[in-house]
Amino acid sequence: MTENLNKRNTAIDLAKYVAAILVIGIHTSPFKEISANVDFFFCHLLCRLAVPFFAVCTGYYLTKRLVFDRERLCNSKNNLRILKKNLYKIALMYLSCSLLYLIVLLYSWIDAGGHVTYLYFIGWCKSLFVSSSYYHLWYLVTIFYALIWFYLLLRYVKFRYLPIIACFLWGIGSLRICL
């Protein structure tokens, strides 16, 4: 079984490479000078598929290591250990990046003549847990909380109902964007 878990999936690896390039495309608008329509289609439609793809990859690789029984996640110490290990890795990466960005933010505030007070740090700490400490880090916070919800859904909901729940949540998210 461990042999199967450690085996690389070349199709997913190739797709992750393409998705990484698409993420760069989100932030660079490479076709802006050629055509506004082409740039909009590329950046706001095609490239936006990359981030959900990475979220799906995270769930895929996590569930490959978990043990299921009768379409539900087993209540085992091993499953909980796997979740904690993944959450720890994400939290460590997020906190490291957040502290690095804090140094940059402090420098830019002081350089601009701003006064850094304790209220600044209270706001930063709040955003650290609620949204993200820096806007580029939203993905790590989202994945951290999503893994917890994903684990709970797998634990208490039968596997066959997850696509229905996913479509329902996607619909709510789509409505939120439209309104």
Q: Which tens digits make up the pLDDT trace of 20-65?
A: 999 999 889 899 899 989 999 998 889 988 988 888 888 888 888 8
Per-residue pLDDT at 81 exceeds 90:
yes
Contact call for residues 151 and 83 (beta carbons, < 8 A) = yes
Confidence of residue 177 (pLDDT cuts 50, 70, 90): low
Domain boundary among 10, 44, 65: 65
> Considering its fold, how many domains does the chain have in total?
2
Strand partners, 72: 69
Per-residue pLDDT at 96 exceeds 50:
yes
Whether residue 173 is found in the same domain as residue 87: yes
Residue 113: helix, strand or coil by DSSP? coil
Domain residue limits at 35: 1-65
Strand partners, 68: 73
127-153: average pLDDT = 86
